[in-house]
A and B are shown apart, each in its own frame.
Chain A
């Protein structure tokens, strides 16, 4: 069976673009898991909330940038409130309780979105219309813009973590939260801040994804599942690993979509997850543990 070269090329670029959006979602999730061992089942729904806030903002103001900003800030603050009210009281308890709590919150958020914005999908207008010539094909500018912006946000996160006092606090508390506390680092506040940052990044992904796939109440589940696959394949708590894994998984799905429908293409991601757990459970993109 001969696959036309254009298809492979397009799917490669699509894979990279989707990979960058997924990386934005997954890095927030991996940061949260790394620092407070919380398996956050709400994460995809924060993407969804961001999408809705973004859609509503664009409809009201026409500005995509404002939509991005308001979604990140609103959902970021909401994330902080969520962490303080539902997760902080559960610190030190059986990890199953946080899984149940975040799962329950996910259901609440989906129903809230349904009540607030109704059952029909929302659209967000592409801020950048038109296509450009990619070799002998035409590729939409917006998709490239999305990948670039996701990359920029992740880079900003990386720089924040590497320099400055708060970056040190986050990395210290991720490594050893007890010793970090003994050094005067306000660990509970750091946890809340990290959750808020993860939520804001998820919200931004929702807005970026809006023009590509629309915003629906149930879109969260797809993101949560894929983000979890990425976090496992990339190595739990490993930021660079989750970015590489996001691209890897998205490329796999994009290539699979040449042969089957996109809904079925997700199967390859699960296969990757299972293989990783079987053969390299610490993560594919993590150096062999010493």
Chain B
């Protein structure tokens, strides 16, 4: 579904990604772990066309999409849920959802269906549908950010630290949502600091260090031998 081949990226003169390679298969949940600052978020941004790769390739759904514009990628079925959520604060909850829902290819009937589905998953969003996005709590904004991405009916979601700053109850909800998306056949590339959660939901895990992937293993294996992770993450 997604393949990164030797991806390099710079922020100005700073060389941030030093040849990142990873794959996400159709419908797979793949975790991306690593300490702060190793380039996990940058990797997601490079995939999404928000940071121009200086070398390497991004292949999505069989197409070379290296450096493609973000709106083109969204139309191809790639959704991005950023670390800071980036809810449109002045738009209502419903209007936030509509930024993804209102696509020419989608019939009004299908739009209603998608909306109902997301309201069923996130009842709090249904309650607050007319409220400005900026009035939602942190956890609710995270729900909205994920729901908004789901409106794109994506083939793959780039999920950047969805549980950051959330209460345990909400973390559990996120875990359920990831499982639900997985059941629906949506692939997920999950960047996380929460190692236990990642090992629970992912099929495979990559570990990054200083702009490169240093370790790669099936989640099952890492669950048995967590010492390996301690080496890279200090946890």
Whether the pair A185, B99 counts as a contact (CB closer than 8 A) is: yes
Contact with B along A140-175 (1 / 0, CB 8 A): 000000000000000000000000010011011001
Enumerate chain B residues within 8 angstroms of A137, measured Cβ to Cβ: none
Whether the pair A184, B75 counts as a contact (CB closer than 8 A) is: yes
Enumerate chain B residues within 8 angstroms of A179, measured Cβ to Cβ: 82, 86, 88
Whether the pair A183, B74 counts as a contact (CB closer than 8 A) is: yes
Q: In this complex, which of A172, A178, A183, A185 has the most chain B Cβ atoms within 10 angstroms of its Cβ?
A: A183
Enumerate chain B residues within 8 angstroms of A182, measured Cβ to Cβ: 48, 50, 70-71, 73-74, 79-80, 82
Whether the pair B102, A181 counts as a contact (CB closer than 8 A) is: no
B199 beta carbon closer than 8 Å to chain A:
no
Whether the pair A171, B88 counts as a contact (CB closer than 8 A) is: yes
Enumerate chain B residues within 8 angstroms of A175, measured Cβ to Cβ: 88-91
Enumerate chain B residues within 8 angstroms of A171, measured Cβ to Cβ: 88, 90-91, 95
CA distance A181 to B82 in the complex (A): 13
CA distance A181 to B100 in the complex (A): 10
Enumerate chain A residues within 8 angstroms of B71, measured Cβ to Cβ: 181-187
Whether the pair A172, B99 counts as a contact (CB closer than 8 A) is: yes
CA distance A186 to B102 in the complex (A): 12
CA distance A186 to B148 in the complex (A): 17
Whether the pair A180, B69 counts as a contact (CB closer than 8 A) is: no
CA distance A175 to B89 in the complex (A): 8
Chain A minimum-CB-distance residue to B84: A179
Whether the pair A184, B100 counts as a contact (CB closer than 8 A) is: yes
Task: Give the size of the chain B interface in residues (CB under 8 angstroms).
Answer: 24
B130 beta carbon closer than 8 Å to chain A:
no
Which chain B residues (79-105) contact chain A, with CB distance < 8 Å?
Answer: 79-80, 82, 86, 88-91, 95, 98-100, 102-103
A94 beta carbon closer than 8 Å to chain B:
no
Enumerate chain A residues within 8 angstroms of B100, measured Cβ to Cβ: 183-184
Chain A minimum-CB-distance residue to B102: A165
Whether the pair B98, A168 counts as a contact (CB closer than 8 A) is: yes
Chain A minimum-CB-distance residue to B79: A182
Enumerate chain A residues within 8 angstroms of B7, measured Cβ to Cβ: none
CA distance A179 to B95 in the complex (A): 14
Residue A181 contacts which of B70, B88, B148, B152 (CB distance < 8 angstroms)?
A: B70
Whether the pair B99, A168 counts as a contact (CB closer than 8 A) is: yes
Chain A minimum-CB-distance residue to B103: A184
CA distance A180 to B73 in the complex (A): 12
Chain B minimum-CB-distance residue to A162: B95
Whether the pair A181, B98 counts as a contact (CB closer than 8 A) is: no
Q: In this complex, which of B48, B74, B91, B99 has the most chain A Cβ atoms within 10 angstroms of its Cβ?
A: B99
| Nearest chain B CB to A194 CB, angstrom units | 16
CA distance A101 to B63 in the complex (A): 38
Enumerate chain B residues within 8 angstroms of A168, measured Cβ to Cβ: 91, 95, 98-99, 102
Chain B minimum-CB-distance residue to A164: B102
Enumerate chain B residues within 8 angstroms of A184, measured Cβ to Cβ: 71, 74-75, 99-100, 103, 152
Residue A169 contacts which of B50, B69, B90, B99 (CB distance < 8 angstroms)?
A: B99
Chain B minimum-CB-distance residue to A166: B102
CA distance A81 to B102 in the complex (A): 27
Enumerate chain A residues within 8 angstroms of B82, measured Cβ to Cβ: 179, 182
9 smallest A-B Cβ distances: which pairs? A184-B74, A181-B70, A165-B102, A179-B86, A183-B99, A181-B71, A182-B80, A182-B70, A175-B88
Chain B residues at the A interface, C-beta cutoff of 8 Å: 48, 50, 69-71, 73-75, 79-80, 82, 86, 88-91, 95, 98-100, 102-103, 148, 152
| 7 additional contacts (CB under 8 A) given A175-B89, A176-B86 | A165-B98, A168-B102, A175-B88, A181-B71, A182-B74, A182-B82, A184-B75
Listed by A's residue number, 24 A-B pairs whose Cβ atoms lie within 8 Å are A168-B98, A168-B102, A171-B91, A171-B95, A172-B88, A172-B91, A172-B99, A175-B88, A175-B89, A179-B82, A179-B88, A180-B88, A181-B74, A182-B79, A182-B80, A182-B82, A183-B71, A183-B74, A183-B99, A184-B152, A185-B71, A185-B99, A186-B71, A187-B71
